[in-house]
Amino acid sequence: MSLIVQKYGGSSVADAESIKRVAKRIVQTRRAGNAVVVVVSAMGDTTDELLDLAGQVAPIPAPRELDMLLTAGERISMALLAMAIKNLGHQALSFTGSQAGMITDAQHGSARIVDVTPKRVQEALDEGAIAIVAGFQGFNRVTGDITTLGRGGSDTTAVALAAALGAEVCEIYTDVDGVFTADPRAVPKARKISRIASEEMLELAASGAKVLHIRAVEYARRHGVTLHVRSSFNNHEGTIVYNPAEPGADGNGDPVEEPIIAGVATDLSEAKITVVGVPDVPGKAAQIFNLVAKSGANIDMIVQNVSAAATGLTDISFTLPKSDAQTVLTTLTSERQDVGFQALQHDDQIGKLSLVGAGMRTNVGVSAQLFTALYEAGVNIEMISTSEIRISVVTRADQIQHAVRAIHTAFGLDGEAEAIVYAGTGR
Ligand code: ADP
Ligand code: ASP
Ligand code: MG
């Protein structure tokens, strides 16, 4: 009997009808002779609604209590799903993250998995039951507290269980047909990708394509878990995320040349801070970024201008998550005298567009083509950064939608038919 781990996202279990529909699908998989472990997210936009609620009682909610609150969302869906399956005449048992042995560090809100001991899940499977596990949550042994893995973390729960239980495949069920060349909500002509290399998927996820949690992609790659992203609303084949380094990863062995560009992603979650008038002497960047690091912010892009000869002063700009900006501004302001800069600028109206493709390694001119296409679309570039297989640019936030469509077309990624989004609010 082969073991399949299936993860259902919030939009796939948004209401009672959806839960019943998903229950049927799970029972079919079980009746086809597979052992099944299911990971569920909270119903619909429950997590966002709980976050809003927390914000109404405290501007900065206590992290421990916030995790306690948010994990309630997945508890609701796991119990309802187990009831629906039982009602179809099959055995099912639901488990919280801690019951399922998801052991994490103590970092509330972004805990990392340190051990997976799914003893009770295995026992349920041995009894022939379908095991339902609450996604996105874990337990720290030292503090004895409940933790969460970060937004979108149910994907990672599913992959970690698939690895620990030696599952054949980890299926990620969502509200679109798989991984597309761009977000189908923003680019109607986005095309579904049948197979994508894990390194490209990692870059897309890191660049804002939220269809997969980046840590799920990393975990799957490290533990050799096959990921299959597909829709819970039909039986179409979705997208397989494969590791080119693994023997046999190329499937039928066809020496098909991969396309140069895999896809394009956008991210509106970052802000830009500019430190104006920094003395252009050794040690100033170190001083600034040590302060930034101390405030716990994750820096993305950094740009330093050429200093003006007359003043010997330069400007340093960097991008970071919007949610980290206020703390960083406060920290830098308090050290202004010591660092010796003139002023700080904060801009939260930026958007980032990233073009991703392993073929960039061996093809020159991709950046020139990108910049030309942006120019022709009338989009101004404010910052640029590159990796081996990615080029990212920062633009005005209100231009990002227009820019991503133009770039998608310019790189020949447009598909024939309009991409379908089956559910969800895109929140
Ligand atoms: P779930 O609730 O199932 O986890 P998410 O909302 O986290 O679903 O992820 C699915 C969404 O990801 C899609 O509805 C789509 O809008 C968005 N998305 C962004 N980029 C892509 C992409 N390249 N391919 C597919 N979906 C994408
Ligand atoms: N419910 C959590 C969230 O909305 C986890 C998840 O859906 O993956 O982020
Ligand atoms: Mg998700």
- Give the DSSP per-residue string, 221-272: HHHT--EEEEETTS----EEEE-TTSTTTTTT---PPPPS--EEEEE--EEE
Q: Which of 171, 176, 239 to mutate to test the pocket of ligand 1 (most atoms within 8 A of CB)?
A: 176
Residue 370 lies in a domain: no
Give a yes or no: residue 114 inside a domain.
Answer: yes
Question: What was the pLDDT predicted at 426?
Answer: 78
Testing ligand 1's pocket by substitution, the residue of 191, 194, 201, 211 carrying the most ligand atoms inside 8 A of its CB is 211
Atom number in ligand 1 closest to CA 172: 3
* Close Cβ partners of 235 (under 8 Å, ≥ 6 residues apart): none
Residue 273 CA to residue 35 CA, distance in Å, equals 51
Q: How far is the CA of 179 from the centre of ligand 2 (A)?
A: 18
Does the pTM surpass 0.95? The reply is no
Is 158's C-beta closer than 6 angstroms to any atom of ligand 1? Answer: no
Assigned domain for 180 exists: yes
**Segments in the chain below pLDDT 50:** 252-255
Query: Is residue 248 situated within a structural domain?
Result: yes
Non-local (6+) Cβ contacts of 321 within 8 A are 269, 270, 271, 297, 298
The residue whose two tokens read 């399949």 is: 4
What are phi and psi for residue 246, nearest 5 degrees? -85, 140
Structure tokens at 315: 């400007």
Whole-number Å distance, alpha carbon 222 to ligand 3 midpoint, is 20
Domain extent for 143? 3-256
94 lines ligand 2 (CB under 6 A): no
Q: Which ligand is nearest to the CA of 233?
A: 1
Residue 250 pLDDT: 53
136 C-beta closer than 6 A to ligand 2: yes
Ligand 2: does its nearest atom lie under 6 Å from the Cβ of 97?
A: no
Look-up: residue for tokens 């010997």? 312
193 found inside a domain: yes
Number of domains in the chain: 1
* 8 Å CB contact between 113 and 222: no
The answer, yes or no, to whether any atom of ligand 2 lies below 6 A from the CB of 44, is no
Q: How far is CA 33 from CA 30, 128, 233, 302, 416, in A?
A: 5, 11, 22, 53, 37
Q: Is 159 within the bounds of a domain?
A: yes
- CATH at 90: 3.40.1160.10
Residue 366 lies in a domain: no
Task: Give yes or no for residue 426 CB within 6 A of ligand 1.
Answer: yes
DSSP letter for 168, please.
Answer: S
* Residue 386 within any structural domain of the chain: no
Distance (angstroms) between ligand 2 centre and the Cα of 254 equals 37
Strands of 348-408 (E only): list them: 350-356, 383-387, 390-396
What ligand 1 atom has the least distance to the C-alpha of 11? 2
